[in-house]
Amino acid sequence: MKPMRRAVGCGLAIGVLLSGTLLQAAPWAVMVDSYNARIRTLDFGTVPPQIYGPFLEGQLGTAGGAL
Protein backbone atom coordinates (compact mmCIF):
# COMPACT_ATOMS: atom_id res chain seq x y z
CA MET A 1 0.00 0.00 0.00
CA LYS A 2 2.86 2.39 0.76
CA PRO A 3 4.39 2.25 -2.76
CA MET A 4 1.00 3.06 -4.28
CA ARG A 5 0.47 5.95 -1.86
CA ARG A 6 3.95 7.27 -2.62
CA ALA A 7 3.31 7.06 -6.39
CA VAL A 8 0.01 8.92 -6.07
CA GLY A 9 1.64 11.57 -3.88
CA CYS A 10 4.48 12.08 -6.35
CA GLY A 11 2.00 12.28 -9.23
CA LEU A 12 -0.04 14.92 -7.43
CA ALA A 13 3.06 16.94 -6.57
CA ILE A 14 4.27 16.86 -10.17
CA GLY A 15 0.79 17.83 -11.40
CA VAL A 16 0.61 20.81 -9.07
CA LEU A 17 4.09 22.01 -10.04
CA LEU A 18 3.38 21.71 -13.76
CA SER A 19 -0.02 23.39 -13.51
CA GLY A 20 1.58 26.40 -11.87
CA THR A 21 3.96 26.90 -14.76
CA LEU A 22 1.67 25.94 -17.63
CA LEU A 23 -1.55 27.63 -16.55
CA GLN A 24 -0.58 31.24 -16.04
CA ALA A 25 -3.42 33.72 -15.80
CA ALA A 26 -3.35 36.98 -17.70
CA PRO A 27 -3.84 40.18 -15.69
CA TRP A 28 -7.43 41.39 -15.62
CA ALA A 29 -9.64 43.80 -13.72
CA VAL A 30 -13.31 44.32 -12.93
CA MET A 31 -14.71 47.79 -13.49
CA VAL A 32 -17.98 48.80 -11.81
CA ASP A 33 -19.95 51.76 -13.15
CA SER A 34 -22.31 52.56 -10.28
CA TYR A 35 -23.94 55.50 -12.07
CA ASN A 36 -25.19 53.33 -14.94
CA ALA A 37 -25.43 50.13 -12.80
CA ARG A 38 -23.19 47.91 -14.96
CA ILE A 39 -20.05 45.81 -14.70
CA ARG A 40 -17.23 45.43 -17.25
CA THR A 41 -14.10 43.29 -17.30
CA LEU A 42 -10.74 44.41 -18.67
CA ASP A 43 -8.21 41.95 -20.09
CA PHE A 44 -4.69 43.38 -19.84
CA GLY A 45 -3.19 40.24 -21.39
CA THR A 46 -3.95 41.53 -24.92
CA VAL A 47 -2.47 44.44 -26.85
CA PRO A 48 -4.34 46.80 -26.72
CA PRO A 49 -6.26 45.83 -23.55
CA GLN A 50 -9.69 44.37 -24.35
CA ILE A 51 -12.89 45.49 -22.60
CA TYR A 52 -15.76 43.00 -22.23
CA GLY A 53 -19.26 43.93 -21.21
CA PRO A 54 -21.37 45.61 -20.05
CA PHE A 55 -22.73 42.82 -17.88
CA LEU A 56 -25.90 42.98 -15.78
CA GLU A 57 -26.77 46.43 -17.12
CA GLY A 58 -30.04 47.55 -15.54
CA GLN A 59 -30.26 44.38 -13.41
CA LEU A 60 -28.31 45.56 -10.38
CA GLY A 61 -30.17 46.99 -7.42
CA THR A 62 -29.50 50.39 -5.92
CA ALA A 63 -31.02 49.94 -2.47
CA GLY A 64 -29.60 52.41 0.01
CA GLY A 65 -27.92 54.45 -2.72
CA ALA A 66 -25.17 51.89 -3.32
CA LEU A 67 -24.63 49.42 -6.10
- For the chain, which residues make up each domain, given as ranges? 25-61
Q: What predicted TM-score, i.e. pTM, was given to this entire model? A: 0.49
Amino acid residing at 37: A
Sign of the alpha-carbon torsion through 4, 10, 13, 15: negative
Residues 11-58 have pLDDT tens digits of 777 777 666 666 667 788 998 887 777 889 999 888 899 999 888 777
Instruction: Give the C-alpha separation, 60 to 33, whole Å.
Output: 11
Give the 3-state secondary structure of residue 23. coil
